[in-house]
């Protein structure tokens, strides 16, 4: 019995050249998109990416033909394969979700000079944010310098002149402003953002003492 028969060949016409197109949504050949749970998305994708194929595969007669031509074994194999694939996709999506849920953004206010602050934004890479674009948005919004730089841990952070953490948080959480959503994704929740206020360096006491000592005449 041909239970291992390839299921990817139901066309009755002459054999077409072997440039196989895979759906960008479900990764199946577009003829099979209809058998998976994302078929609505698949259909929309095909319609915009390959309108001719969309017309071909989604005409009513095409769909009827295809179903009629599948053998019981082919259907079973297809179902099994799709179930496997779907489960894999689900697991992947769950993993990604967990990863994002545990991802943290840290907004750190650092005092550089007396009352002069720099705000560090760390962790945006967890949300696939383009840091250069983000820095540009911050620079425009605050009319202040905003640069991408490396942290000592090797990650990248954005440094913004000024104490901007509250405004930055608002920007990250914004789900309405198209410009902001385009850069930050509109999927960050407030429990994923921590604001840290860096305490002035401990050496203030020591340096004050040193400064005081310097005032004392050396004689």
**Interacting residues with Zn ion between 99 and 128 (CB under 5 A):** none
Any idea what DSSP says for residue 18? S
Of the candidate spans 15-23, 97-105, 139-147, 158-166, the one that interacts with Zn ion by CB under 5 A turns out to be 15-23
CB of 28 to Zn ion, least distance (A): 5
Q: Which residues pair with 195 in a beta bridge?
A: 107
Q: What letter would DSSP give residue 200?
A: P
Q: H or E element: which one contains 82?
A: helix 72-102
Closer to Zn ion by Cβ: residue 92 or 104 = 92
Q: Are 192 and 98 in contact (CB under 8 A)?
A: no
CB of 25 to Zn ion, least distance (A): 4
Closest distance to Zn ion from the beta carbon of 149 (Å): 41
3-state secondary structure of 112: strand
Output the smallest distance, CB 16 to Zn ion, in A: 19
Closer residue to Zn ion (CB): 86 or 111: 86
**From CA 12, how far away is CA 85, in angstroms rounded?**
27
The two tokens of residue 115 are 């009352």
Residue ranges with strand state E in 105-152: 105-113, 116-122, 146-150
The residues in 142-171 that bind Zn ion, with binding defined as CB under 5 A, are: none
Q: What angle, rounded to 10 degrees, do the helices at 131-142 and 165-173 form?
A: 120
Looking at beta carbons only, is 37 or 69 nearer to Zn ion? 37
| CB closer to Zn ion out of 66 and 125 | 66
SS3 content of the chain, % helix, strand, coil (to 5): 50, 15, 35
What string marks each residue from 18 to 57 as x (binds Zn ion by CB under 5 A) or -? Answer: -----x-xx------x--------x---------------
Q: Which is nearer to Zn ion, 25 or 124 (CB)?
A: 25
What is the nearest approach in angstroms of Zn ion to the Cβ of residue 64? Answer: 19
Total residues at interface with Zn ion (CB under 5 A):
5
Q: Are 36 and 85 in contact (CB under 8 A)?
A: yes
Is the CB of 27 or the CB of 151 nearer to Zn ion? 27
Measured at the CA of 89, the angle between CA 98 and CA 16, to 5 degrees, comes to 150
Distance separating alpha carbons of residues 82 and 35, to the nearest angstrom: 8
Residue closer to Zn ion by CB (options 23, 135) is: 23
Site string for Zn ion, 75-94 (x = CB under 5 A): --------------------
Residue ranges that bind Zn ion, judged by CB under 5 A: 23, 25-26, 33, 42
């Amino acid at each position: 019995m041909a239970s291992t028969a390839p299921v990817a060949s139901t066309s009755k016409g002459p054999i077409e050249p072997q440039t196989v197109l895979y759906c960008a949504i479900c990764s199946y050949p577009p003829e099979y998109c209809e058998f998976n749970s994302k078929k609505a998305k698949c259909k929309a994708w095909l319609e915009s990416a390959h309108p001719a194929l969309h017309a071909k595969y989604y005409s009513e007669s095409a769909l009827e033909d295809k179903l009629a031509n599948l053998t019981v074994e082919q259907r079973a194999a297809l179902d099994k394969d799709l179930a496997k694939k779907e489960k894999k996709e689900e697991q992947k999506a769950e993993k990604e979700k967990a990863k994002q849920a545990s991802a943290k953004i840290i907004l750190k206010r650092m005092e550089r000079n007396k009352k002069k602050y720099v705000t560090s934004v760390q962790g945006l890479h967890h949300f696939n944010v383009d840091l250069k674009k983000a820095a540009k948005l911050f620079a425009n919004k605050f009319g202040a310098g905003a640069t991408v730089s490396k942290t000592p841990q090797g990650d990248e952070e954005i440094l913004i002149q000024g104490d901007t953490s509250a405004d930055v948080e608002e920007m990250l959480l914004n789900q309405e402003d198209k410009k902001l959503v385009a850069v930050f994704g509109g999927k960050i929740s407030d429990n994923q953002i921590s604001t840290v206020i860096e305490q002035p360096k401990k050496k203030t006491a020591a340096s004050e003492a040193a400064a005081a000592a310097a005032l004392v005449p050396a004689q």
